[in-house]
Amino acid sequence: MEFRKIQFTGRSSYIISLPKKWVRENNLKQGDAVPLVINPDGSITIFPKEPKETSEKKVLEISKEFSPDMAIRLVISAYIQGYDVLDIVIQGEMPLYKVRIRKVLQTLPGVEIILDEPQRIVAKSLLDEDEVNLVELLRRVRSIVLSMLGDLELLISGMNGEIKRDIYDLENELDRFYFLIIRTVNRLLSRHNVSEESGLVRRTFDLMAILFIARDIERIGDHIIRIADNPDDVDVPYLRDKFDAMIAQIEKRNLREIDELMLEIRERIKAIDYRESLAKESFRRILEYLENIGETIINMALS
């Protein structure tokens, strides 16, 4: 680490010199303007040039070299990396690929198909990225999972009908918001600016932590589906209560409350015989993901 003295020049300006080696390595010269970002922790980051924005358009060439599942993954990957226009070229007669690609595009938040030709689909994101708020997104996925658990309790109690279908619909919605969270975090990272409107993020690590939390929540949704497919007598109200309490700590970050919650969850995990059924195994896995979320929140709380 280098230390440089702050100097006073003129009547009201403070200056600090830049390392000559750094200036030369980045092809800078006297008179060049360099961008800087004031970080939430009070530090300042200086960049050698304007940060590169993610390219607005991504062309994806889809052939039978890839499976339909891989084609879908490529589309989702381009979306979460922040591309605004997806130009998908389908090489040859591949109706199954096109149907599945069109379907996944229709599920991505803010995406509209603006061109649909026999061998080409162009989709555009109409999201106003500056209006996306990470706290609101996390509150939304919290609400979705709580609704899934409410439906799961009804399903286990014997009420069927449309309940199971509703759980599946909610899980699809959870995936949509999961993709949007990844896209939002990636946008913030690519702009070299971790701050955003909600104030949830104080440093770069917080963005990574939000990715870990979102991933754990998405996996919890997967295990709720697994229990719905293999119903058994599991304590869903307990899951709902502990999930709600743990997710609330993302904003509260009360270390004492997190400690008590994690100790209780750990004791409950030890008492579960996960070999009795698939549902009880998923019950245990959900609690383990809540433990992971707790550990991540602790790390965020230390920022």
Q: Give Cα separations from 115 to 13, 78, 120, 212 (angstroms).
A: 54, 17, 8, 35
Which whole number is the average pLDDT over 49-60? Answer: 69
> Each residue of 218-263: pLDDT tens digit?
999 999 999 999 988 899 999 999 999 999 999 999 999 999 999 9
Can you count the helices (H) and strands (E) in the chain? Answer: 9, 8
Per-residue pLDDT at 193: 59
pLDDT at 37 over 60: yes
> Each residue of 152-186: pLDDT tens digit?
999 998 877 789 899 999 999 999 999 999 999 98
Contact in structure between 55 and 46 (CB atoms under 8 Å): no
Average pLDDT of the chain to the nearest whole number: 88
Contact in structure between 78 and 86 (CB atoms under 8 Å): yes
Per-residue pLDDT at 160: 75
d(CA 105, CA 85): 11
Lowest mean pLDDT segment, chosen from 144-148, 167-171, 205-209, 219-223: 205-209
Better-scored residue on pLDDT, 152 or 129: 152
Q: State whether the Cα torsion 227-229-232-238 is positive or negative.
A: positive
Residues composing the chain: 303
d(CA 79, CA 180): 9
Stretch (H or E) spanning 187 = helix 163-190
pLDDT at 278 over 50: yes
Contact in structure between 97 and 90 (CB atoms under 8 Å): yes
Per-residue pLDDT at 191: 66
Q: Model-level pTM?
A: 0.80
Close Cβ partners of 76 (under 8 Å, ≥ 6 residues apart): 104, 108, 179
**Predicted confidence band at 205 (pLDDT cuts at 50, 70, 90)?**
confident
pLDDT at 54 over 80: no
